[in-house]
């Protein structure tokens, strides 16, 4: 198994632990803080609310975009807590990956009975959910 697959599996495992302990029904921000804490406990480097600048005509614009979590500088993790994931949610992750020049992303919806059912892996413009 590749190092990035091991990393994404570890992130998903941490999300399962948070969901097991908190259950569905909380705000996305609560899951973000708890998942970041769980990942740090497991020895990962986690950046919360990573600014995502937009570069247009070689000008770096701060538009207020933020990635929920960036783990080990390699994986963007976007968290949701809603009934249905829409294509725009996956497009958001893809945009963050492009703008941050990263390859791997996870979209995790905590509003599922089993959080693993709400996980989508997103890589360089194609998805495998």
Strands (E), 16-118: 46-51, 54-56, 59-61, 66-71, 75-80, 104-109
pLDDT at 129 over 50: no
- pLDDT tens figures, 63-94: 778 999 999 999 999 999 999 999 999 999 99
Q: Which two tokens stand for residue 35?
A: 């998942």
Residues 6-47 pLDDT 10s: 999 999 999 999 999 999 999 999 999 999 999 999 999 999
User: In the prediction, which pLDDT does 127 show?
Assistant: 44
Closest CA to 16 of 106, 114, 85: 114
CATH number 2.60.40 given to 3-128: no
For residue 105, is pLDDT > 50? yes
Q: Across the chain, which distance is largest between two alpha carbons, in Å?
A: 46
Domain ranges of the chain: 3-128
Residue 60 has pLDDT above 90, yes or no: no
Angle at 64 (CA atoms; ends 59, 67), nearest 5 degrees: 105
């Amino acid at each position: 198994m590749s190092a990035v697959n091991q990393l994404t599996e570890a992130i998903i495992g941490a999300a399962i632990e948070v969901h097991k302990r908190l259950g569905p029904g909380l705000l996305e921000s609560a899951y973000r803080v708890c998942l970041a804490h769980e990942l740090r406990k497991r020895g990962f480097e986690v950046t919360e609310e990573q600014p995502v600048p937009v570069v247009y005509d070689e000008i770096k614009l701060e538009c207020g975009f933020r990635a929920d979590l960036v783990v080990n500088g390699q994986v963007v993790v976007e968290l949701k807590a809603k009934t249905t994931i829409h294509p725009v949610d996956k497009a958001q992750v893809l945009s963050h990956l492009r703008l941050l020049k990263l390859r791997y992303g996870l979209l995790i919806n905590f509003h599922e009975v089993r959080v693993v059912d709400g996980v989508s892996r997103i890589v360089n413009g194609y998805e495998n959910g």
